[in-house]
A and B are shown apart, each in its own frame.
Chain A
Amino acid sequence: MKISRRRFILSSAAAGGGVLIGYAATRPSRHRVANDTLAQGEERFLTSFLKIEPDNKVIVYVNHSEMGQGSHTALAMMAADELDAAWEDVAVEQAPATDLYATGDMAVGFAGEFDVPAFLMPLIEASAMKIAQIGNLQTTGGSASIRFTGQMGMRVAGAAARQMLIQCASEQWAVPASECTTALGYVQHNASGQSLSYGELADAAAALEPPAEPVLKDRSQFNIMGKAISRVDIPAKVDGSAFYGLDYKTDDMLFAAIRLAPVFGTKLVSVDASEALKRRGVQRVIELEDSVAVVADNYWRAKEALRLVKTEFESSDNDDISSADIAAQFDAELESSGGSEDFELGDAGGNLELAEDQIEASYRVPYLAHAPMEPMNCTVHLHDGIGEVWTSTQDPLAVRGRVASLAGLGENDVTHHPSYLGGGFGRRLPFNWNVIDHATKIAMEFSVPVKTVFSREDDMQQDYYRPAVTSNFKAGLNGDGKVIAWQNRYTGPVQTPGAAHIPYDIANQSIRYVDGNTHVPVAAWRSVDHSQQTFFTESFIDELAHRAGTNPFQFRMELLHEHPRHQEVLRVAAEAAGYGRNLPPGHALGLAVQESFGSICAEVAEVSIDANGRPIIHKVTAAIDCGWAVNPDTAEAQIESGIIFGLTAAMYGEITIENGRVAQNNFPDYEMVRMATSPEIDVHIVESGESLGGLGEPATPPIAAAVTNAIYILTGQRIRELPISRHDFSQGSSLAGG
């Protein structure tokens, strides 16, 4: 990578005094907007990450959504540490949904026009950059906020500001900058005993040229990063004051309850709303292409009235499709097509023929809903030629664009009002537009704000699901029990290339996929393809270990000899879980390891089977190498969260298709892990010091296989289809139900 000749760190005087520090990696076409808005004079000013005010207050502008992952806090910690600010003086603000804060543009800018400056290269792991580039607008996803925006944006802005403040002070004192130090929001000159606060220097600093290559701290110099700092968003989340998209309310607001076409992709044919229109509070019934909405002065009134609306939707070829048909379609595709290449190494086919022992297994996982706790909702207010939107989203900028295009407005005429997200998990990413689209179209009929709310049932039945996947394996062992061939044929769509790859040293591999397209809409679901693929690969490698007569820990360790980081997390997790030592009677340990989003996570599940034949997950021990942790406590919280999210899917998660539509309605038939079924979790963060890896997702993939691998030891039953709740362990090996 060459160092760009163009400057990319910029500064400007802040309105009301002080200095703004930001970033200039964006498309040239957006410069004009940026400069009109923020820059002064000849500055080419774009994304602003931090502002230092005259009273020494530091405002950090965070262009990522807070959905519980703690990135508002961690990103501010990164800026504040490099700045040497006092944490007490730091406040976090959600950056507005404008072009200035487009995360994708930052990455695209660096990849294209600007290039990543050489001094930043060691900080960025390649996959984080790729995710940031794909996440084109203002996306929070791919476990990339900290490792991309934090590393390239926040730390650089903080370090640049610190150097400028030192320069200011040294000029005022007429002493060499090298004699000045910084701490807790002050520049000091120890020899003369002089000291100035950042606030006092901020105005003058705004006139300086920012350093082209600010010097970032070494980890040993961190004062804030690496500490378990309390999250800034938590106080509002214990007293009911935290504001979520669903919480926007005005006196004149209207509420819409909606019925969407139950079979995906079909249209509304006819509506009889005569009874609904008689109900108290009902204003109008709006017919859209694929749905009907009742708009009333209260959501409950709208929803009650909707029950009285008679609707007919068109029939379609998909009306008879069931989950069994989809599974059969996948089997047929896998049977009839050689598939597309994912990964080929050596000669898997030839070596399968040569193998002393050939093992085959077919795995299957169902569709899954995201089911964030805050049901999907969107309030749109179109008035006086502008639009305002309130919705919890993983991409405010993309929402702004979507609403603008539907409502026929310019992007800059639409404002997205920020809020916390009541869960995201991929459901609130761009392209999962249904609630945004319907809310906008409904609001186009009114001049007051209209809040469209999906009920939990709507949410369950009108999601963009984690894909159902079938994966067929063949492997060959030689006479010494060594794996000489690994073949995997699985159904797509491939959303995360590489998720089906294995870290194991097997000389002959053939991994291929077929389309797997159905009428069911699919999207990213926490950890994306890794959640399915890790269940498959970590189960099948376990099968091979047992077949080879080697214990699954040792078997993996030997095949991971070229992956010391994998070996280390596996060793740490196994050791902490008591692997190989005496367990309580009837308990067994299952393990799994997977690299995803730049982190490597090993999990060991301690499981027993109760008197009713139900598996009890007593404890999960996790070890994760995420390079190092910016905030170890939120890192641990994300591992706990990822494990429970994955455990819910493994134990209970299943969206089935019947008559072309989703059969599940609400939590009773899409059950969740709750207090009584939540295991003890023991997290070990392994700090290798390598590039930062993600934390929001990597703990989700290994848990399913860790649990089923333990169940195999306990029962001899190999679970090849999720969820686990469909299986009966009370006696022998029959699949419960169907």
Chain B
Amino acid sequence: MATFKINGEEHSLDVEPEMPLLWVLRDELGMIGTKFGCGIASCGACTVHVNGNAVRSCVLPVSAVEGQEVTTIEGLAESSVAFYEPGALTAVQQAWIDYQVPQCGYCQSGMIMAVSSLLTVNPNPTDAEIDASINNVCRCGSYPRVRKAIRSIASA
């Protein structure tokens, strides 16, 4: 039995301890916001937060989050926006709209989770720090806009 919190809600699930968190979220719980991209922690499409830190859920056994707090894209705003109301967005999500970052959008859940974690730790990253921290794959090439959107928040 795996017991942990997802977006503030306690879950107890009868799944194999080695099942990656990604497939627990998608196939057991039907939470589709977290995406499958490569299955080997190379592309970052599956990025979620565990206790606030960005991790790639496609290789993270569910046993590793026992008793931990998992946040997915669906719960990102609620976990970080003060006086949250449904529909509210984080500064990162709003910047993603303002700078029209997503194209196909498939990688953007992971991208937003990775950037949100970076900005929590380092609110004003240099370009080199962005490059070192954000190595998610975006096949549409939204990188120039990702950088602009990060800078807009960092300088705000």
- Which chain A residues have a beta carbon within 8 Å of chain B's beta carbons? 67-70, 230-231, 233-244, 246-247, 249, 255, 280, 297-301, 371-375, 420-425, 453, 455-457, 633-634, 637, 640-645, 648, 666-668, 672-676, 678, 680-681
Contacts and interface: CB of A to CB of B under 8 A. Distances in A.
Q: Which 9 A-B pairs have the closest CB atoms?
A: A240-B33, A644-B141, A68-B103, A422-B106, A237-B105, A68-B104, A240-B73, A676-B131, A678-B143
B147 interface: yes
Nearest to A70: B103
B138 to A, nearest CB: 7
A241 B33 contact: yes
Contacts of A668: 40, 42
Interface of B: 16, 19-20, 23, 26-28, 30, 32-40, 42-43, 45, 72-74, 76-77, 89, 93, 96-97, 100-109, 112, 130-132, 134-147
Given A68-B104, A238-B102, A673-B143, A249 B32 contact: yes
A418 to B, nearest CB: 15
A675 B106 contact: no
Nearest to A236: B105
Nearest to B31: A240
A424 to B, nearest CB: 8
Contacts of A425: 139
Contacts of B23: 298-300
A299 B27 contact: yes
B100 A230 contact: yes
Given A239-B93, A372-B104, A456-B40, A641 B141 contact: yes
A239 B77 contact: yes
A280 B14 CA distance: 12
A68 B140 contact: yes
A68 B105 contact: yes
Contact of A667 (B43, B112, B134): B43
23 contacts: A67-B103, A67-B104, A68-B103, A70-B103, A233-B105, A234-B102, A238-B93, A240-B33, A244-B32, A246-B36, A247-B32, A297-B27, A371-B139, A373-B43, A373-B138, A422-B104, A455-B39, A637-B100, A637-B103, A641-B141, A674-B136, A674-B137, A681-B144
Contact of B19 (A235, A239, A300, A374): A300
Residue of B73, B132, B141 with most partner-chain A CB within 10 A: B141
A238 B108 contact: yes
A374 B106 contact: yes
Given A247-B32, A373-B45, A641-B103, A675 B139 contact: no
A243 B104 CA distance: 11
A401 to B, nearest CB: 25
Given A298-B19, A667-B42, 19 more contacts: A70-B103, A230-B97, A234-B100, A239-B74, A239-B76, A239-B89, A240-B74, A241-B33, A373-B104, A373-B138, A421-B104, A422-B104, A457-B39, A640-B141, A640-B144, A642-B141, A643-B141, A678-B141, A681-B144
A59 B109 CA distance: 28
A423 B140 contact: yes
A63 B20 CA distance: 38
Contacts of A374: 35, 37, 104, 106
A255 to B, nearest CB: 7
B112 to A, nearest CB: 6
A648 to B, nearest CB: 8
Residue of A239, A648, A668 with most partner-chain B CB within 10 A: A239
Nearest to B114: A675
Given A235-B97, A640-B145, A680-B144, A375 B139 contact: no
Given A280-B16, A298-B27, A373-B138, A238 B96 contact: yes
A372 B104 CA distance: 9
Nearest to A250: B30
Contacts of B136: 674-675
Contacts of B76: 239-240
A371 B140 CA distance: 11
A673 B96 CA distance: 20
Given A456-B37, A456-B38, A242 B144 contact: no
Nearest to B146: A675
Contacts of B109: 240
Residue of A301, A453, A641 with most partner-chain B CB within 10 A: A641
B103 A69 contact: yes
A237 B45 CA distance: 13
Nearest to B22: A300
Given A300-B20, A640-B144, A678-B141, A240 B32 contact: yes
A242 B105 contact: yes
A300 B27 contact: yes
Nearest to A679: B144
Given A455-B39, A666-B38, A668-B42, A373 B73 contact: no
